[in-house]
Structure 1
Amino acid sequence: MSTFVLVPGYWLGGWAWDEVARALRADGHAVHAVTLTGLAERAAEGGPQVDLERHVADLTGLLADADLREVVLVGHSGAGAPVTGAADRVPERIRRVVYLDSGPVPDGLAPIEQNPPELRAVIEAAVRDGWRYPMPSWPELAERGASLAGLEPEVLAAVAARATDHPFGALRQPLRLSGAGARLPKALVTCSFPLDRVRALIGAGHPWFAGMADPAWQLVELPTGHWPMFSRPADTARVLADLA
C-alpha cells in the first residue's frame, strides 16, 4: 500500500479530494489531503505574507512532522509549483511526483508566468487588498481554457460556494530549485488536453514541457475536464493507485 499527499489547485482546500481520498483509503492506502496556508479552513492564516515558499513549507513541514516516507506527492493544477518545490527540498521522502492536469514550474519562474501577458494583466487586476486572488466565474475559467467537462451544474455551484481567495504571493513569487528532485520518478496525468498535444509540445522543446522527454517521466491520459477529482473521482483514484 502507498502513502499519498494530495494537494489541490487554486482556491481549493483539502476537501476537494474527499471522494478520491475515500476511494484510495478503501483500498488500504494512507491519504493526506492538504489545505495550504490561507485557504479553506486555514483562510484566517492568509495575508500578503503568504507566498509560494510558504506553500512549499506547508508540504515539507507535513512530510517531516508526520515522518512520511515513500510518498506519492500529487499536485492538481496550480499546485504544480509548491509540489515541485517540495520535491526539490526533501526528495528523500518522495517515491513519485504526480502532476494532475498540471505541471512543474521551471527554476526561476513564477507560476503566473505560465500565462500570456494579457491574461497576467487580467489576473493582477482581479487581486483585492493587494493579495486576495478570487476565483473567477466558471464561464471566465472556461474562456481561459479550463475545461468544465463532466461537471454538473450542482457541482459547479457547490465548488464555487466553498472556494477561497488564493494568496496572490503564491502566484507571483518565482520558484527556486536546487535540482535535488530532478531524478525523482514523475508522472503527468493529462485530463483536459490530449496526450498527443503534450507530446508535440515536448518534441517542440516548449520550456514548460521539454523536461518531460526525460525517462523519469510517465505520461497518462484521463479524459475529462480540468477538475477530475470532481468529474471522475473513482477513476482519478484508480489512476493514482496505478501510478503508485
Structure 2
Amino acid sequence: MTAFVLVSGMFTGTHVWRETAARLTAAGAEAHTVALTGLDGPCTAPAGGIDLETHIADVLTVIDSVGTAQDREVVLVGHDYGIHPALGAADRRAERVGRVVHLDSGMPQDGVPALAAVPDRSLRARLAAAGGRADTGDVLKPPAGADEWRLWGSTAGVPDATLDRLTALAAPQPLATLLQPLSLTGAVATVPTTGVLCTRNGASIETVQMMVGFGDPALQALTDPRVTFFELPTGHWPMLSAPAELTDVLLRAAAGEGHRLVPADAAVPPAHLRPFPLDVPEALRERHGNVDLHLPDADGPRPAVLFVHGGPVPADARPTPRDWPTLTGYARLAAAGGAVGAVVDHRLHDLSDYERAAADVAAAVEAVRADPAVDADRVALWFFSGAGLITTDWLAAPPRWLRCLAATYPVLAPLPAWGLSGSRFHPARAVADAGDLPLVLTRVGLEAPEIAATVEEFLAAAEDAGADVEVVDVPHGHHAFEGVDPTDETREAVQRAMRAVLDRVGRHGAP
C-alpha cells in the first residue's frame, strides 16, 4: 500500500488535489492532503506567527497520522512552494518517507528561503528588501484573476471555470513562510526522489540533462540512480489541468519508474562538447579578455560576426562556451568566409543574470568594433538558445553598423517559469521596432513546444511589422542540433545560415 501525502503550493489548499486524490484512491492507494495553516480555505487573512516551520509541522502531523505499518510506504509530493515544507518534514522523518516527488518545483537547499524560488524576480527583490522589516503577520496577496496567476506559472490546460474557482479559494501567503530559511540536517539526502516537470511551464528533462552536462556540481546528485524524472505536457498546475496523467505519473514514480539522467563524465560527451558537424579549417585565434577573435586570412579591416552563447551556463562550467566546438566551429566558418568570427563568454549563469549578460554582450560588441582587424561599420550579431532574449535591445534600436542579426534555435519570449514576463527581455515585442534590419532565424522542427511557441510568436509579430526575416528550417533538427544531429540536413542549414549572414554583412569591400 502506498500512502501519498500531497502538499500544495502558494495561495492554494487541499481543494486543488480533489480529483487527483480521488483517482489515487480508486487505483488502490491512500491519498492524504495537507491543510497548511493559513492557506487552506477561503480568502481570509491568516493569523500572525505563521512561518515555514509552521507548515513543516503541518506536514509532519499528516505523515505521523498515516501510521507505521511496514507495508505502507509514504510518498511525499510537494508542488511549487509545497516542496519546502515537504522537504523539511522528510528530513525529520527520513525513515518513514519512501520517496519525495518534486512536482514542478525547484530543488530547495539548506539555509535558503522559499523566496529564492518566487518566479517574479521584481517581486522577489521587493520582498527581499522588505524582509528585515516584515512582521510575522504580513502576507502576500493572492492572484486576483487569470492574468495574475500566469505570473506564478503557466495556466495551460486549466479550464476557465477551474481557474475562477482557484481564484475564489485562494488565500494570502504568510510572508514569513517565504522569508524563513529551510533548515535541513542532510537526512533527506538518503530518500529517493522524483522530479515531475511540466513542459508548458518551461521545464523539460532535456533541459535538465543539458545543465548536468555543463558540469554544475550542484546538479550531479540528479544522476543518482535513485533519482527519476517524468514530463507532463501541461502547465504549472497539473492537478487541475491533467489529473489523470498526473495520477499515472505519481503511481509510476512510487514504483521507482521514470527517466534517469546520464552523468556528466559519461563516455558519450554532452551535446555542447561534441564535434562541429562541418570540417572547418582552423583560423588564427586571438584572446582579448572574455572575447576570442578568429581571424580570416585577409588583409585590412574585415566585417565581424559576434557569436553569443545560450544559457544559463554554470559559472564553473569547463570548458567555457568560447571553447565549445559549436561556437568555435561557427567562428572558424565565418573566418573561412572572410569575416572575423568573435565569441564572447558572458555571465548568464542564472535566469536572474540577463541584465549583466546583456551588458557583457554590449561591451563585447564595442571591443570587437574597436579592434583594428574589424571594420566597425560592418558587424553582425548571432545569438543561440537562451541568449535569444538578449536580442531585445538590438531589435528595439538597431544601430547603423549592425548589418544583420541572426538567431539559432532561440528563445524569443520569456518562458512562464523564468520570472521575466515583466522584464524588457521580450524579442517578440521588440521586433516591431527592428525596421529594415536583416534577420536570419534558424528554426528546428523538433524543438521543445514551449520554445517553439516563442519562435512562432516572434515570426507572427515580425510579419505584422514587415520585418526582413529569412528563416532557415531544419525539419528533423533538435535544439543544439550541431552536436545532436550531425546530418546532411543540419550541415546544409549551418552553411545556408552562414551564407545569409555573410551576404548581409558584406564579405568583400562595401556591401
Query: TM-score, normalization: structure 1?
Result: 0.89
Moved more, 205-214 or 148-157: 205-214
* Residue identity opposite 2:21 in structure 1: A
Whether the aligned pair in 2 keeps the contact of 1:3 and 1:71 (CA below 8 Å) is yes
Whether the aligned pair in 1 keeps the contact of 2:4 and 2:30 (CA below 8 Å) is yes
Aligned equivalent of 1:93: 96
1:35 deviates by: 1.2
Equivalence map 1:1-244=2 (5 Å): 1-41=1-41, 46-68=46-68, 70-115=73-118, 118-123=122-127, 130-136=137-143, 137-143=145-151, 146-191=153-198, 192=201, 193-204=203-214, 209=219, 211-244=221-254
Q: Aligned partners of 2:43 and 2:56: how far apart in 1?
A: 17
1:122 deviates by: 4.5
Query: TM-score, normalization: structure 2?
Result: 0.44
Whether the aligned pair in 1 keeps the contact of 2:25 and 2:31 (CA below 8 Å) is yes
Whether the aligned pair in 2 keeps the contact of 1:37 and 1:45 (CA below 8 Å) is no
Distance 1:209 1:139, change over 3 A: farther
Deviations 1:54-112 (A, max 9, x none): 11111112222442552000011111111111111110111110011013310110010
5+ residue gaps, structure 2: 255-511
* Residue identity opposite 1:57 in structure 2: A
Moved more, 203-212 or 84-93: 203-212
Distance 1:5 1:207, change over 3 A: farther
* Residue identity opposite 1:18 in structure 2: R
Distance 1:128 1:232, change over 3 A: farther
Whether the aligned pair in 2 keeps the contact of 1:48 and 1:169 (CA below 8 Å) is no
User: SS at the partner of 2:212?
Assistant: helix
1:206 deviates by: 5.7
1:135 deviates by: 1.5
Whether the aligned pair in 1 keeps the contact of 2:238 and 2:246 (CA below 8 Å) is yes
Deviations 1:149-190 (A, max 9, x none): 101221211110111111111111000110011011100000
Which one scores higher on RCO, CA 8 angstroms, separation ≥ 6? Answer: 1
Identity fraction in percent: 40
Q: Aligned partners of 1:28 and 1:235: how far apart in 2?
A: 16
Moved more, 28-37 or 108-117: 108-117
Q: Aligned partners of 2:45 and 2:147: how far apart in 1?
A: 29
* Residue identity opposite 2:146 in structure 1: W
Q: Aligned partners of 1:97 and 1:177: how far apart in 2?
A: 14
5+ residue gaps, structure 1: none
Whether the aligned pair in 2 keeps the contact of 1:202 and 1:211 (CA below 8 Å) is no
Deviations 1:20-41 (A, max 9, x none): 0011111111110111111124
1:210 deviates by: 5.1
CA RMSD after TM alignment: 2.5
Distance 1:67 1:48, change over 3 A: same
Moved more, 80-89 or 113-122: 113-122
Give 1 or 2 for the bigger CA radius of gyration: 2
Distance 1:117 1:227, change over 3 A: closer
Tell me how many residue pairs correspond in the alignment.
Answer: 242
1:205 deviates by: 5.5
Distance 1:43 1:179, change over 3 A: farther
Q: Aligned partners of 1:7 and 1:27: how far apart in 2?
A: 20
